Every structure is written in structure tokens, then in C-alpha cells.
Chain A
Amino acid sequence: MAEAQKVYEIPIGPIHPALKEPIRFTFQVEGERIRGVDVRPGFAHRGIEFMGLKRNLIQVLYLSERICGICSISHPIAITLAVERAAGIEVPPRAQYLRVIFSELERIHSHLLWAGVAAHELGFDTLLHLTWKVREEVLDVLEELSGNRIDYSIPIYGGVRRDIAPEQYPKVEAMIRHYRGLLEELLDAFLRDPSVAARTRGVGVLTAEEADSLCAVGPTARASGLAKDVRQDRPYLVYGELGVRAITPRDWGLEPRGDVYDKAVVRLLEIGQSLDLIEKCLHEMPDGEITAFPKIPALLAFLKKAEGEGLGWHEAPRGEVIHYIRLEAGVEEPVAWKVKAPTYSNLMSWVPMFRDQEVADIPIIAASIDPCMCCMDRVHVVQDGSPSTLLKEELLRLSRAKTERVLQGLSRVGGGA
């Protein structure tokens, strides 16, 4: 094409003020229009699954919490569900309700955080400060209930670590009332504001077909009109009894278009949904034990004897998170651990979203899927400083070599490794 020389490449990242986390974009730009994008992740890869295979299951639980500081309830919930399925642990009903309460509190804080970041990317800093001021209330409640603002260490295999005491109920209820009053104000500031609508309507569109074929999850998929929510589709904990319904822009009385505006609609309405869920849990929660194993050594001894594999899933604020785990009797460490974070599924939706958009809209489109690089950066192969793609044969060879190494190791220590 003769036009080709008009297309320029703009690299952005890995360190860039518009990005909170390291990732590199290479945009092909023609004038002000984006013609294509290449995403190079992997800068936040810490090899967490690899480290998990060298630690006992309780240490792995704390490691899973540090996959992502914002989803620090979601990953532990998914891994505890996986381990409980693998080992056949029954979770007391009260603990299940408590897990739901904490995960919905986390959703409120995460969606408010996103709303603030989105406002900042639009150049609307007043709104950033407003939403982050409002967000402190839910952090206060989380701190009151768990002892920490971030990284709560609440789920543990067989239950939760802390109960909600009777004198703490009024504080949670006060928070719910506070947010109910504020939500209308936030909806006004975001959804009924003409300048926000002008910057977000028709920007970063992901159609329902694209969202479906790219396997988008969470608010990214729901904003395109797919009524997809793990809490509704494959209920776990007590979500089935609570009756969760996936929120799409139709709940706001609009036909879904899949643009940035719709993504804001879904996230803000989900704050209201989470408030309802927390209130319902507080009322319906039965009394009783909060964990099947009050003593940690007993839990560790039980897990050491457990054998089997399990899958745990959870609707994190950004979408579906899946943990797979395999346990073998006589070994404290998991034999296999695989994490699928929501951003991993959502990353490819950037490609259609960026197409034919303006350069000035890059930050808000990038932020609109609420990317979480630290969750996502799984395995990246770098050789001689340059990224290389492994061919299938090469992968097979590496896999065989590893099996041989493992077998040698096993025979050396007599199978007890």
C-alpha cells in the first residue's frame, strides 16, 4: 500500500504516567487515528505459581493474596474453594456468608477505585478526588472487620479467620446507608454529566460478538450486553441462595453499545448490587462456627494427607478468576497450581477497542477494562534479552526434558520429594 508510509509507530510504556502498572503498547498511528496496537505484557511477572510449588498450602494462601493487592479477597476465595474441593472440606454456612460479605466489600472498593482512575484519565480530577474520598468509608469498614486496609487474610481453608462481632453490625449497616445516599450523587456525576458522556460515548467500543469471541469476562463483557456473571452462571458459596443477576446497561434503561460509558454504567450499578448483597447476608447469616479447622496445625496435617484436584472460581471485581490445584498425599506443597486472572481474558479486547480511535483516548480506553497487570503477567519467555515465541516442537522438547529431570529427582530421593 502506498499509504503505508503515513503510519507511524508510537511506543508507550512500560513506565508512563498514564499507566499505573508496567506494560508496553506499540500503537500504529495514522495522524490522530490508531490503526493497530501491539501489547507487550510480562513486566510484572513474579513467578508466583512456581514459588507456590515450593511452599506449604497455608503459605501459598498468603502468596495468592499477593498476586494482586486490589483482588486480595478474590484470589484467596478461589484458591480456598479449589483446595476445599480437592481435599473434601465442608465449609460452615456462616463462613460462606462472611466470605460473600468480604468479597462484595472488595467489589465496592475496587469499582470506586476504577471510577476515580477513569475520571482522572478523562482529565476530571475533581471526580477522582470525590470518588477516592468516598472510597475511604468502605476501607474503614474493611479495616474494622479484618484489621487491614488492603490484604485482609480473611479466607482460610475450611472457613474464614475472623467473625463479624455483634457490635460491628451497626458500623456495616451505617456504611450501607451512607453509600445508598451517595450512589445517586455518583450516578449524577458520572452518568448524567454531559462532559463525561461526550468523552466516553462511542469510545473504545467492544461489540457483543467481539466480546463473545474474545472470551471477555466481568464488567467488560457485561457492558457489551453479555449477561455473564460467574455468581449467576455457576453459583458457589451462598450466591445461589442470594440470587445474583448479571447487570448490563439494560438495567440503566439503555441498549448496550459496549463503549466506555457502558462500562462505567455496569460498574456503578454493581456497587448498588453489592450493597444489597451485603445487607441480605447480614440479615440471613446463621450463627455457628466460622471454620471447620479452628487449629492451624490440625488443618496442615489434614491437608498433608489430602489427595485430589480441585477447581475454584469466583467473580472478582474485574471478572472471572479461576484457580486449579492438585494435591498429593504426603506432600505439604501443592503439586500443581494454575491461576487464570480476569485481565488475562480481557486483554485481547483492547485490540478491537483501540481500532480507529484517537490518540487522546488511549488512557481511558486502556483503563476501561480495569487492567490488572500483576494478576495477569503469567509466563513470558525471554532469551538473550529479546522476547521469543516458542514453537510447538521446542515446547515439547522442553517438556520432555523437564519430565526427565523430575523423574531423576524422584528416583534420587526415593519418591519422597
Chain B
Amino acid sequence: MGLSSFKRALWVFHVATGSCNGCDIEIVAALTPRYDVERFGIRLVGTPRHADVLLVTGPVTRPMAERLKRVYEQTPDPKAVVVVGGCGSTSGVFYDSYNVVGPVDAVIPVDVYVPGCPPRPEAIVHGVVTAVAKLEKVAEKR
């Protein structure tokens, strides 16, 4: 239900949970003219309540875990969560930190992982598109 609208208007909310900025600037690079995801209708929005997809970067630090959960709950269903970057997918180089409670899938359910440190903008776009395909499959089953 309502999924046909995804094809031309996929709204994305970006949550940084203590990332090093590497992935965050690549996400912005994906939105700007060289990669220009807006031509597919993908755009960044200012609140999770308007979002279809959550882009999560960073290894999830202790103070951000609760906030990440809250953002996830604020995002309306159906939604997809895309983790961008190695540290969000597996904790990466931050695996033995006292202040990291991640990876992201230890805190919220994750649909798509985009590995890389940081992943290229092409990979991020691919991750978002994969998330949409997944959402569509869920809709077909219903």
C-alpha cells in the first residue's frame, strides 16, 4: 500500500551516530550535481516523520543509541534502514571502544548494509535503491 509513490519520491533522513564525517560527506556528495540522486526522486528531508528511508552512519556511541531508537520509532511504516559505512555495519576500527554500543543492527533492525570506509557515492545510491526493491517485495507479499 502506498508503495507506488516510492518510485518517484523516495525521501531519506540521515542520522549521524558518532561517525567520522567521511560517510556523511559522501552522502552529501551523492546529492550534489556529479551524482545527483534527486533525478531519481531521492531527496534528503529534515525530519524522520517525513522519511521513507533512514541512512545511518557511525558506530553508534553510547549517548546516541537511545536517540537512534527514537528516530527509528518516529519514522512511519513502511520504512527501510540503510547503514552506510564499515563502522556502522560491523563496528570496524572502533570495535573495542568503551563508548560504542553498535554496530547499528544491535540497536535497530537493518535492511541494507553499504560497506566501505567510506563507501563511494555510487555504492550509497545502490544501497538506497536496494532498500526500495526490498520494500517493494514486502508489499507484493501482502
Determine how close the nearest CB of chain A comes to the CB of B94; give it in whole angstroms. Answer: 5
- Interface size range on B against A: 35 or more
- Interface size range on A against B: 35 or more
Closest B residue to A136 by CB, please name it: B34
Select B117's contact among A50, A128, A132, A151, beta carbons within 8 Å: A151
- The proximity string for B residues 10-32 relative to A, scoring 1 for CB distances below 8 Å and 0 otherwise, is 00000111111111111011001
Select B21's contact among A47, A62, A149, A374, beta carbons within 8 Å: A374
**A47 with B16: CB separation less than 8 A:** no
How many residue-residue contacts, CB under 8 A, span A and B? 115
Contacts of B19 in A (CB 8 A): 44, 69, 374
Query: Residue A133 at the B interface, CB < 8 A?
Result: yes
Query: Residue A414 at the B interface, CB < 8 A?
Result: no
Closest B residue to A65 by CB, please name it: B20
Query: Residue B96 at the A interface, CB < 8 A?
Result: yes
**A45 with B118: CB separation less than 8 A:** no
Query: Residue A118 at the B interface, CB < 8 A?
Result: no
A62 CA to B20 CA in the complex, in Å?
A: 13
Determine how close the nearest CB of chain A comes to the CB of B123; give it in whole angstroms. Answer: 11
Query: Residue B100 at the A interface, CB < 8 A?
Result: yes
**B32 with A69: CB separation less than 8 A:** no
> Within residues 45 to 65 of chain B, which ones have a CB less than 8 A from any CB in chain A?
45-47, 58-59, 61-64
Contacts of B93 in A (CB 8 A): 51, 62-63, 66
Contacts of A63 in B (CB 8 A): 93
Select B63's contact among A21, A42, A51, A151, beta carbons within 8 Å: A42
Residues of A whose CB lies within 8 Å of any CB of B are: 14-15, 17, 20-22, 42-48, 50-51, 54, 62-63, 66-70, 72, 113, 116, 128-129, 132-133, 135-136, 139, 149-151, 372, 374, 377, 382
Instruction: Give 19 CB contacts A-B under 8 Å.
Output: A20-B16, A20-B24, A22-B63, A42-B63, A45-B61, A46-B61, A46-B94, A47-B98, A51-B94, A54-B96, A63-B93, A69-B19, A69-B20, A69-B21, A133-B33, A133-B34, A136-B34, A150-B22, A374-B19
